[in-house]
Structure 1
Amino acid sequence: MDAPPSVRARGITKYFGEVVALDSVDLDVAPGQVHGLVGPNGAGKTTLLGLLLGLAVPDRGDLEILGTPVGRALAVPDGVAGFVDGPGLYPSMTAKQNLAALARLRGDRTTSIDDAIDQVGLTDVADDRVRGFSLGMRQRLGLAAALLTKPRLLILDEPSNGLDPAGKKHVYGVLTRLAADGTAVMLSSHRMDDVEALCSEVTILSTGRVAFSGPISKLASEDSELDYRVRTSDPAVARRIARETKGIRLRDQEPDSVELLVISSAVPALDEFVKRLVRDDIAVRELAPVVSPLEAAFIALTEQQETN
């Protein structure tokens, strides 16, 4: 039999006084999926993550976590771990002492403290007091704490906050391995590069409502125009070809001596432009969206939602 969804929400609504934080939100997260949650500040992301961690309950709607209906606070089933608004840590304790204290509170654990610390790349500072940790190191220690119980659903709020490239590599590796082993990961992030690198599906919230939920690939329509940076071996010829290619529009026209072009194009016209460059023996040294397809869709969807 197929495993039940790790998260299944239908019509979730949450009020804080007269403020509607979440408005009829539907959400599905499958086992082994890394699901991104994005939205402007105040969109309801933290509220939704809090519901998934059992910190509160919806005022209306149905919520199932790991196949179990959740109807009261602190009643999520075993196998859920994570943090919202940053991990809670004791600054006067070392990294190891923090995890040991948490392990005692939780009881049995399936991952050793040393192994959890090693997975997030903090072995060298395991005996250092947390008060001296950077933001990124605290985020990684929070992830290590979540790993202690080998979660089946991991909830993370801005997990790459403050991470340097090495820290990001460790976090990416941990989340990828967890998903490969069947753990569902729900992460909120303002960094579209993190979401695009890690997530197969994304939910975009705006003013408490779902503006989009589904595979990221569905956001990148071939018919949608994006702005692209283009750097070639011959910018003057590339500019001429851009003017002559149907569906290509030059943005911020620069003098011919400047190497960088900015063009606006949908994918079919962009393909034709590149083919013509190759036929004219022009080397393409850079071709990249000015704004990623996810970020462009995010901006368009949230702006549309806010005007409705």
Structure 2
Amino acid sequence: MDTSLAVRARGITKCFGDVVALDGMDLDVEQGQIHGLVGPNGAGKTTLLGLLLSLAVADEGSLEILGAPVGRALTAPDGVAGFVDGPGLYPSLTARKNLAALATLRGRDARTAGIDDVLGQVGLADVADDRVRGFSLGMRQRLGLAAALLTQPRLLVLDEPSNGLDPAGKRQVHGVLNRLAADGTTVIISSHRMDDVEALCSEVTILATGRVVFTGPLGKLSAENRELDYRIRTSDPEAAQRLALDTPGAVVVESSDAALIVVRADIPALDDLVARLVHAGVAVRELAPVVSPIEAAFLALTDQETGR
């Protein structure tokens, strides 16, 4: 038993009738990290989250959570909290009363459970006494996070935690998750938003057709995707295009009159091109991948796995 791991899964298989949702999946998640779980629809992400929250049990394989083996009972191990497919809330109750009800269900005194503190952490202090039925999707997501925080989890499992959040709300939620990880809590998030995964996660697991097609650090994922299209905006697009055409390993795939070219290159060729631009006195005003490295790798890996 490896006590440095928050999650250790070996050979996990889960079927629903003839549908194989997870197919002999292995997974290691270290304690104190934010781990991203991504994949196309039907890849098995929701099924995996359900297993981690003990909403279902695996048909085959072994699963350890926070150092303890998971048995056949649908009982979440101590220290695990989160939600799948959105948090379960009482729409007729206020945000505060929702959390008070949760505290009471867990045998705690609502007056000392820290309800005001967690509402403040997720930015809902001003609407604590409003009924949840009037909340937006983003507010419901934040209240679901507050409910999870109320249990002081050591493993937090979240499904699309940024759903419906405006930029300020997303920044607040990201801050909460980063602080939790810094304090030693393990966070697993499933998301279709690659910008969230890149901003939050130190490691990522990509699922396709119930199998793990990649797991590891984000840097390794980006490095394995050799060529990307980069958008380059300069002070002299004609000179930039000429220099790009003369740079080994770089291909101009698009150019326009708006001081913009799109170049396909690996990192060494891109570095060479930027050096040539600077040497020629061409100002580089924007340099960014057209598709982020993680999204490009995700598309390549999942397309290969599904045979597209």
- TM-score where L is the length of structure 1: 0.96
Give the 5 Å matches for 1:146-225.
Answer: 146-221=148-223, 224-225=226-227
Tell me the alpha carbon deviations over residues 50-101 of structure 1, each in whole angstroms, 9 at most, x when there is no partner. 0000001000000001111111232332100000000001111110011001
Tell me the alpha carbon deviations over residues 120-177 of structure 1, each in whole angstroms, 9 at most, x when there is no partner. 0111111111111110000000000000011000000000000001100110000000
Aligned residues between the structures: 306
| Structure 2 Cα separation of the partners of residues 70 and 272 of structure 1 | 52
AA of the residue aligned to 1:269: A
Moved over 4 A (4+): none
Give the 5 Å matches for 1:265-304.
Answer: 265-304=265-304
**SS of the residue aligned with 1:221?**
helix
Specify the alignment match of 1:128 in structure 2. Answer: 130
AA of the residue aligned to 2:180: L
Give the CA deviation at 1:111.
Answer: 5.2
Specify the alignment match of 2:92 in structure 1. Answer: 92
Give the CA deviation at 1:220.
Answer: 1.3
| Structure 1 Cα separation of the partners of residues 225 and 141 of structure 2 | 39
| Structure 1 Cα separation of the partners of residues 225 and 209 of structure 2 | 27
| Structure 2 Cα separation of the partners of residues 40 and 237 of structure 1 | 41
Give the CA deviation at 1:119.
Answer: 0.4
**SS of the residue aligned with 1:89?**
coil
Query: Structure 1 pair 269/222, CA: closer, same or farther in 2 (3 Å)?
Result: farther
| Structure 1 Cα separation of the partners of residues 280 and 126 of structure 2 | 54
Segment drifting more, 262-271 vs 218-227: 218-227
Tell me the alpha carbon deviations over residues 31-67 of structure 1, each in whole angstroms, 9 at most, x when there is no partner. 1110000000010000000000000100000000111
Segment drifting more, 41-50 vs 108-117: 108-117
Judge conservation of contact 1:33–1:185 (CA < 8 Å) in 2: yes
Give the 5 Å matches for 1:1-308.
Answer: 3-108=3-108, 112-221=114-223, 224-254=226-256, 257-307=257-307
Give the CA deviation at 1:221.
Answer: 1.5
**SS of the residue aligned with 1:286?**
strand
AA of the residue aligned to 2:127: V
| Structure 2 Cα separation of the partners of residues 55 and 212 of structure 1 | 25
**SS of the residue aligned with 1:127?**
coil
Give the CA deviation at 1:223.
Answer: 7.0
| Structure 2 Cα separation of the partners of residues 135 and 96 of structure 1 | 17
| Structure 1 Cα separation of the partners of residues 93 and 201 of structure 2 | 34
**SS of the residue aligned with 1:252?**
strand
| Structure 2 Cα separation of the partners of residues 107 and 262 of structure 1 | 59
AA of the residue aligned to 2:220: K
Judge conservation of contact 1:38–1:189 (CA < 8 Å) in 2: yes
Query: Structure 1 pair 78/298, CA: closer, same or farther in 2 (3 Å)?
Result: same
In percent, how many aligned pairs have the same letter? 72
- TM-score where L is the length of structure 2: 0.96
Give the CA deviation at 1:222.
Answer: 7.1
Query: What's the RMSD between the two structures over aligned residues?
Result: 1.6
Give the CA deviation at 1:252.
Answer: 2.5
| Structure 2 Cα separation of the partners of residues 73 and 287 of structure 1 | 52
Judge conservation of contact 1:5–1:30 (CA < 8 Å) in 2: yes
Q: Which runs of 5+ in 2 are unaligned?
A: none
AA of the residue aligned to 1:13: T
Tell me the alpha carbon deviations over residues 211-246 of structure 1, each in whole angstroms, 9 at most, x when there is no partner. 101111111127700000000011111111111111
